[in-house]
Amino acid sequence: MTTFPVEQIRADFPILQEKIRNKPLVYLDNAASCQKPQAVIDSIVHTYSHEYANIHRGVHTLSVKATDRFEGAREKVRAFINAASTKEIIFVRGATEAINLVAQSFGKSQLQAGDEIVISAMEHHANIVPWQMLCQQIGTVLKVVPINQQGELLFDEYLNLLTDKTKLVAITHMSNALGTINPVKQIVEAAHSKNIPVLLDGAQAIPHMAVDVQDLDCDFYVFSGHKLYGPSGTGVLYGKQALLEAMPPYQGGGDMIRKVTFTETEYAGLPHKFEAGTPAIAEIIGLGAAIDYLNQFGMAAISAYEAELLAYATEQAQQIKGLNIIGQAAEKGGILSFTLDRIHPHDIGTMLDSLGIAIRAGHHCAMPVMDFYGVPATARASFAMYNTRQEIDVLMQGIKSLIEVFG
Amino acid sequence: MFDDLRDLYQEVIFDHNRNPRNFRVMDDANRQVEGFNPLCGDRLTLFLKIEDGVINDASFQGQGCAISTASVSLMTEIIKGKTEAEAETLFTQFHEMTTGKSEDIQLEAIGKLAVLAGVREYPARVKCATLAWHTLDAALKNQAQSISTE
Ligand SMILES: Cc1ncc(COP(=O)(O)O)c(C=O)c1O
Assess whether A125 and A243 both reside in one domain. Answer: yes
Assess whether A209 and A328 both reside in one domain. Answer: no
- Asked whether residue B150 carries a pLDDT value surpassing 60, the answer given is no
Assess whether A370 and A271 both reside in one domain. Answer: no
Whether residue A226 lies inside any domain: the answer is yes
- Which residue, A295, A330, A364, sits at the end of a domain? A295
CATH of the domain at A382: 3.90.1150.10
pLDDT of residue A276: 94
- A206 vs B: CB within 8 A: no
- Asked whether residue A147 carries a pLDDT value surpassing 80, the answer given is yes
Determine, for residues B43 and A376 on separate chains, whether the beta-carbon distance falls below 8 Å. Answer: yes
- A358 vs B: CB within 8 A: no
A365 noted as active-site residue: yes
Beta bridge partners of A118: A143, A169
Determine, for residues B40 and A21 on separate chains, whether the beta-carbon distance falls below 8 Å. Answer: no
pLDDT of residue A359: 98
Q: What is the maximal distance between C-alpha atoms in chain B? A: 50
When mean pLDDT is compared across A163-177, A243-257, A266-280, B104-118, the lowest value belongs to B104-118
- Asked whether residue A406 carries a pLDDT value surpassing 90, the answer given is no
Pocket test for ligand 1, best of A120, A176, A220 (most atoms within 8 A of CB): A176
- Asked whether residue A383 carries a pLDDT value surpassing 70, the answer given is yes
Average pLDDT over residues A311-328: 98
Assess whether A345 and A373 both reside in one domain. Answer: yes
Of residues A88 and A263, the one with the higher pLDDT is: A88
pLDDT of residue B121: 87
The response to whether residue A234 sits with its C-beta less than 6 Å from ligand 1 reads no
* Domain span at A214: 41-295
pLDDT of residue B110: 79
Determine the distance separating the centroid of ligand 1 and the alpha carbon of A346, expressed in angstroms: 21
Assess whether A232 and A316 both reside in one domain. Answer: no
What whole-number distance in Å separates Cα of residue A329 and Cα of residue A325? 11
Using a 10 angstrom Cβ sphere, with 0-12 exposed, 13-18 middle and 19 or more buried, the burial of residue A321 is exposed
Name the percent of chain B lying above pLDDT 90: 60
Determine the distance separating the centroid of ligand 1 and the alpha carbon of A214, expressed in angstroms: 22
Going from the C-alpha of A132 to that of each of A55, A199, B131, the distances in angstroms are: 35, 16, 29
pLDDT in tens, A243-252: 999 999 999 9
Going from the C-alpha of B13 to that of each of A323, B21, B71, B112, the distances in angstroms are: 22, 12, 8, 11
The response to whether residue A124 sits with its C-beta less than 6 Å from ligand 1 reads yes
* Global pTM value: 0.94
Assess whether A237 and A346 both reside in one domain. Answer: no
Determine the distance separating the centroid of ligand 1 and the alpha carbon of A380, expressed in angstroms: 15
- Asked whether residue A281 carries a pLDDT value surpassing 50, the answer given is yes
pLDDT in tens, B86-103: 999 999 999 988 887 666
When mean pLDDT is compared across A63-67, A179-183, A263-267, B80-84, the lowest value belongs to A263-267
- B123 vs A: CB within 8 A: no
Average pLDDT over residues A370-398: 96
What whole-number distance in Å separates Cα of residue A273 and Cα of residue A342? 53
CATH of the domain at A140: 3.40.640.10
Residues of B in contact with A177 (CB under 8 A): none
Whether residue A87 lies inside any domain: the answer is yes
Please check whether residue A81 is in contact with residue A210, taking contact to mean a CB–CB distance below 8 angstroms. Answer: no
**Is 0.90 exceeded by the ipTM?**
no
- A129 vs B: CB within 8 A: no
Residue nearest to atom 16 of ligand 1 (CA): A176
A227 pLDDT tier (thresholds 50, 70, 90): very high
The response to whether residue A30 sits with its C-beta less than 6 Å from ligand 1 reads no
pLDDT of residue A1: 47
pLDDT of residue B143: 61
- CATH architecture assignment, domain B2-143: Alpha-Beta Complex (3.90)
In A62-132, beta strands by DSSP E? 89-92, 116-120
Determine, for residues B66 and A347 on separate chains, whether the beta-carbon distance falls below 8 Å. Answer: yes
Assess whether A318 and A289 both reside in one domain. Answer: no
Average pLDDT over residues A123-146: 98
Average pLDDT, chain A: 96
- Asked whether residue A15 carries a pLDDT value surpassing 80, the answer given is yes
Of the residues B3, B5, B119, B121, the best mutation for testing chain A's interface (the one with the most A CB atoms within 10 Å of its CB) is B5
pLDDT in tens, B59-91: 999 988 999 999 999 999 999 999 999 999 999
- Which residue, A231, A260, A295, sits at the end of a domain? A295
Please check whether residue A128 is in contact with residue A103, taking contact to mean a CB–CB distance below 8 angstroms. Answer: no
- B42 vs A: CB within 8 A: yes
Assess whether A222 and A154 both reside in one domain. Answer: yes
What does the H/E/C string look like for B52-77?
CCEEEEEEEEEECCHHHHHHHHHHHH
- Which residue, A255, A272, A295, sits at the end of a domain? A295
In A191-233, beta strands by DSSP E? 198-201, 220-224
What whole-number distance in Å separates Cα of residue A91 and Cα of residue A97? 10
Average pLDDT over residues B37-55: 89
Whether residue A173 lies inside any domain: the answer is yes
Among A102-116, A366-380, B129-143, the range of highest mean pLDDT: A102-116
Going from the C-alpha of A70 to that of each of A74, A80, A234, A284, the distances in angstroms are: 7, 15, 12, 7
pLDDT in tens, A25-36: 999 999 999 999
Which atom number of ligand 1 is nearest to the Cα of residue A224? 10
pLDDT of residue B6: 86
Peptide bond into B38 cis (omega under 30): no
Which of residues 56 through 75 in chain B touch A, CB cutoff 8 A?
A: 63-67, 69
